[in-house]
Amino acid sequence: MRALGAAVVTGVVAWSATTAAAAPPRIRSLPWPPAVLPQTPPLAPVTSGVLPLSARFLGRLETRERIVVGIDAGGRPHSIRVLQRILIKGLGDYVFAVPAPVRAVTPGPGTQSVPGQRENQILWEGFSPGHRMLAAWADLRVGESAHSLPVRVDLETTVDGTRLAAGERRSGKLKVILTITNATAVEARSFEAEPEPVSLAQVVDRIRAAIRRDVFAEGVNAEFFSGLTPVKQRVAAPLQVEGTLRFAQGTATITGARDGVVRFSERLDGLQRARVRIELHGQAVNATAPKVALRVTTANAGDPVAPPGGSSWASALRRHELGNVRRLLARAIALELTYARARQYDTFLASPDQAGPAAATYVYRTTAPTGATAVSGSGPRTDHTLGWVVLALCLAAAVPAAAVIWAHS
Amino acid sequence: MRRLLALLVIGGLAAGCGGDGSNGSTKTLLIAVNAPFSRTPYVGITIANGAELAAKGPAGVVHTKGGDFSFRVKRYDTGLSARRAVANVRRAIADGAVAIIDEGTGINASWRIANDAKVPICVTFQGGQGIVDADDRPNVFRIAPTDHGVAFRLAEYVIPKEKRVALIGDDSDYGQQGLQALDEAFSRNPESVAVRLTVPMRAPDLAPEVLRARRAHASALIVWAQPSAIAGVIAAARGSEWNVPMYTPATGEDPLVRQQLANHPEWVDGLVFAAGRPTAEVGAGPFLSFQRQYEERFGVQLVGVRTPAGAEVTQPPDYAMYSYDFVNVLVAAMQRAGGVQDKEGILSSLEEVSVNGANGDHRGFNESNHDGVVDDDVYFARFEDMTYRPVKDDPLSATLTIIDQLR
């Protein structure tokens, strides 16, 4: 009886395998970054109007950005200014708008045209005689921009165990904790599945080639034998963080810190290593809180899917060196999404040419908040409506009350 | 009594709309055109015709939140007098104008009057630097090439070709503002300036001034002046057999220049002027369509001269584009704002809307810039046989198509 049962089971398994082998694999696209990753950055103001006329430009645009973040003594951003440079390499007209929560837009150094400003837009239009540099400084509303910055900075300075307030000076036992956190990590919708080896090898090669050329991979469809099992994929933009923590000369004695300056440089991938924590101990002499200067850029995601002993996965497949295809698929998806997430931070302000080369450098500096920059209004223009409503309500209540008081006086 | 009261209320509401009459359910709004119709008729008439074409054409009846409106265009002659231009603006406001289209004379005083009434003024000819300031003059807009843009484009076009240039302006506001812009444009290349001269606009003979330029060893002349002065400089130079290259701003294409030199058409040959491009990258289609509408309504604008082959020369309505575009931008702003009574809303909406211009260009203003023609849009054209065509040795001009000027 047992033998009969075993035979039946074996027969069913064999039939299933035959059926599965005979069923054609289904074509599915790998997770598409614009669909599974958050939309920001680049910044996209909620109320941003669209340019009523179609954008126009010839050829590919190259974008470079310098994002200058003013932080207070605790590390919180209080001002964000962006110098966006757009290089047009082509002859012809250009008209486009860059959506951004702008408070003010001014011409940047070396610009060959003057930027315009509309509600939540930087406006460019003109004629390129073959080569034209457009540069604008955009002063952004902090409340609508800070959440898209790549790192969070926390700085805590204590003297004799008590926190040192901004501008305050004290002497005693000094302790400084600086924490820089890669804030780019998100959870993206992804899947696991059994891929067909040939199509997988082609897709992985395509992804690697696109990243080498610094463009998005196109045509990332593969064939799958099994259904897709949804999973959450944690994705972050790898960042290179360099900077200094600086005390005013002669106000702090810290071991290893020459002239009161501590230098650091870290690669934060946002997943295995999401933050760097620097703890310093020393002696303060009439010291104020130290100043932080940071330079943050996106780092190369590396090549976690380098083919074994060959130039491509297609050749590895011919040599039967593909290995575990499920694992290779997972690594390829992770690479594709990581690259896409990093590219998002290369355009803090949107590039009119989303497929064009882009790079951004974030510069964080401790600065004193100014009256104007400390305000993080939610709209481009001051609206006094609420004030008028409150005033009207007060008057509505006050007039009858005054009448009653007058009547009884 | 009640009926009388109701009529008074309705009448009051209608008066508040800022128009000057009504036609059934469609109220008529007044657009004033303040221009030198008597002194430089080509400029004045072209501006007014462009506005009228938009008002009776695409702008036609405007549907806004506050109801339907149509436009009426009224002409006020400045005679190139700043004093009269200011008085005209005061009168236009009193007449209930919702917008003023202005040639630019007297604008430094008249804008305040319009600003007090929250009425937008759009300059569609003069390009002086102080005229438009988005911060200090919130109601002043311009759709015309700026002097700054024209002067810098002239400098970048002329300096590589000519060793020493004489900068000549007439004594009109227009000429003096132009000279100022040229000074700035040539300030980085002072060695390129042979001499700087101001000539009287109304002088019958400019030979002495031209002789001074010649004695300064100028190898080219840039003449920033009213059409009559440009014709005077050309006549003085060519009459003395000085075949010096000459460049002008847009006044060089004014028919008056060619009319005054009709007896010597060869003197006009080679004259290069800088102006706002009439066609864009999209091709000549939009402008030709605009020109067809213009000519169907107002007829062909004849220059009054003929080519050597005997063909009549016509003038393309290029400056009419600007007033035409402004009326369309104004309509878009009215529709975006809370209606025609929302004057503040219209002024701020003028900074946020765009339309397709008559030449196919994007046309609009923004919060930091009330100039609707970007400096890049200045092109160069050269006269030959009393007609002009874009030059081929400038990247922008080389992309433009030739507009037919013969009948």
Contact A53 B354 (CB under 8 A): yes
Nearest CA in chain A to B371: A116
A125 → closest Cβ in B352, B353, B374: B374
Determine, yes or no, domain membership for A396: no
| Cα–Cα dist A377/A379, whole Å | 6
Q: In terms of residue numbers, what domain contains A323?
A: 33-367
Collect all residues of chain A within an 8 Å Cβ-Cβ radius of residue B351: 118
Calculate how close chain A gets to B330, using CA atoms only, in Å: 15
Given CA atoms A323, A326, A327, A330 in this order, what sign does their dihedral have?
Answer: positive
Helix (H) or strand (E) holding B94: helix B82-94
| Cα–Cα dist A105/A115, whole Å | 7
Collect all residues of chain A within an 8 Å Cβ-Cβ radius of residue B354: 51-53
In chain A, % of residues over pLDDT 70: 81
The per-residue pLDDT for range A386-404, each reduced to its tens digit, is 444 444 544 455 545 545 4
pTM above 0.90, yes or no: no
Contact B368 A125 (CB under 8 A): no
Q: How confident is the model at residue A302 (pLDDT cuts 50, 70, 90)?
A: confident
| Cα–Cα dist A220/A206, whole Å | 7
Phi-psi map region of B39: left, alpha, beta (phi>0 left; psi -120 to 50 alpha): alpha
* Residues B192 and B232: beta-carbon distance below 8 Å: no
Q: Which long-range contacts (CB under 8 A, 24 or more apart) does A310-318 make?
A: A312/A201, A312/A205, A313/A200, A313/A201, A313/A202, A313/A204, A313/A205, A314/A201, A314/A202, A314/A205, A316/A201, A317/A197, A317/A198, A317/A201
Return the residue matching tokens 């919708």. Answer: A189
Measured CB to CB, residues of chain B less than 8 Å from chain A are 280-281, 351-356, 361-362, 365-369, 374-377, 395-396, 399
Contact A52 B354 (CB under 8 A): yes
Determine, yes or no, domain membership for A88: yes
| Cα–Cα dist A281/A176, whole Å | 7
A55 inside 8 A of chain B by CB: no
Contact A126 B375 (CB under 8 A): yes
Quote the number of domains for chain A: 1
**Orientation of helix B173-185 relative to helix B147-158, angle to 10°:** 50
Report the pLDDT value the prediction gives residue B7, as an integer from 0 to 100.
42
Report the pLDDT value the prediction gives residue B59, as an integer from 0 to 100.
61
Report the pLDDT value the prediction gives residue A390, as an integer from 0 to 100.
44
Determine, yes or no, domain membership for A295: yes
CATH for the stretch B2-146+319-376:
3.40.50.2300
The structure tokens listed for A376 are 């993080």
Q: CA separation (Å) from A32 to A94, A186, A220, A221?
A: 30, 15, 8, 10
A48 inside 8 A of chain B by CB: no
DSSP 8-state symbol, B309: T
Contact B356 A53 (CB under 8 A): yes
Q: Is the peptide bond before A41 cis (omega within 30 degrees of 0)?
A: yes
| Cα–Cα dist B113/B131, whole Å | 15
One DSSP character per residue, A185-214 reads: -EEEEEEE--B-HHHHHHHHHHHHHHHHTT
The stretch A238-265 carries a mean pLDDT of 89
Report the pLDDT value the prediction gives residue B126, as an integer from 0 to 100.
92
| Cα–Cα dist B125/B102, whole Å | 8
Helix (H) or strand (E) holding A234: strand A229-235
The structure tokens listed for A401 are 């009350």
Determine, yes or no, domain membership for A377: no
DSSP 8-state symbol, B402: P
* Residues A149 and A77: beta-carbon distance below 8 Å: yes
Count interface pairs A-B at CB distance under 8 A.
61
Calculate how close chain B gets to A107, using CA atoms only, in Å: 11
The structure tokens listed for A323 are 């290995």
Number of neighbours of residue A226 by Cβ within 10 angstroms? 13
Q: How much is the mean pLDDT over chain A?
A: 84
Determine, yes or no, domain membership for A130: yes
Report the pLDDT value the prediction gives residue A385, as an integer from 0 to 100.
44
Length of chain A: 409
Calculate how close chain B gets to A126, using CA atoms only, in Å: 5
Report the pLDDT value the prediction gives residue A371, as an integer from 0 to 100.
57
Closest C-alpha to B120, from B284, B369, B348, B392 = B348
Q: What are the residues whose beta carbons fall under 8 Å from the beta carbon of A408, sequence distance 6 or more?
A: none
Q: How confident is the model at residue A328 (pLDDT cuts 50, 70, 90)?
A: very high
Q: Which long-range contacts (CB under 8 A, 24 or more apart) does B288-291 make?
A: B288/B403, B290/B317, B290/B320, B290/B321, B290/B324, B290/B358, B290/B359, B291/B316, B291/B317, B291/B403
Instruction: Give the range among A25-34, A217-226, A279-288, B388-397 with minimum mean pLDDT.
Output: A217-226
Contact B281 A93 (CB under 8 A): yes
Instruction: Give the ranges where B186-319 is alpha helix by DSSP (H).
Output: 207-215, 227-239, 255-260, 265-268, 285-298
3-state secondary structure A136-175: EEEEECHHHHHHHCCEEEEEEEEECCEECCCCCCEEEEEE
Determine, yes or no, domain membership for A15: no
Q: How confident is the model at residue A48 (pLDDT cuts 50, 70, 90)?
A: low
Determine, yes or no, domain membership for A214: yes
**Low-confidence residues of chain B, pLDDT below 50?**
1, 3-23
Report the pLDDT value the prediction gives residue A396, as an integer from 0 to 100.
52
One DSSP character per residue, A262-323 reads: EEEEEEE-SSSS-EEEEEEEEEEEEE-PPEEEEEEEE-----TTPPTTSS-HHHHHHTT---
Q: What are the residues whose beta carbons fall under 8 Å from the beta carbon of A5, sequence distance 6 or more?
A: none
Collect all residues of chain A within an 8 Å Cβ-Cβ radius of residue B396: 127, 129
- 3-state helix vs strand vs coil in chain A, percent to 5: 25, 40, 35
Determine, yes or no, domain membership for A145: yes
The per-residue pLDDT for range A144-192, each reduced to its tens digit, is 999 999 999 999 999 999 999 888 899 999 999 999 999 999 999 999 9
Higher pLDDT, B368 or A3: B368
Report the pLDDT value the prediction gives residue A18, as an integer from 0 to 100.
44
Helix (H) or strand (E) holding A245: strand A239-246
| pLDDT of A214 higher than 60 | yes
DSSP 8-state symbol, B124: S
The ranges assigned to domains in chain B are: 2-146+319-376
| Cα–Cα dist A338/A341, whole Å | 5
β B165-170/B193-199 pair status: parallel
- 3-state helix vs strand vs coil in chain B, percent to 5: 40, 25, 35
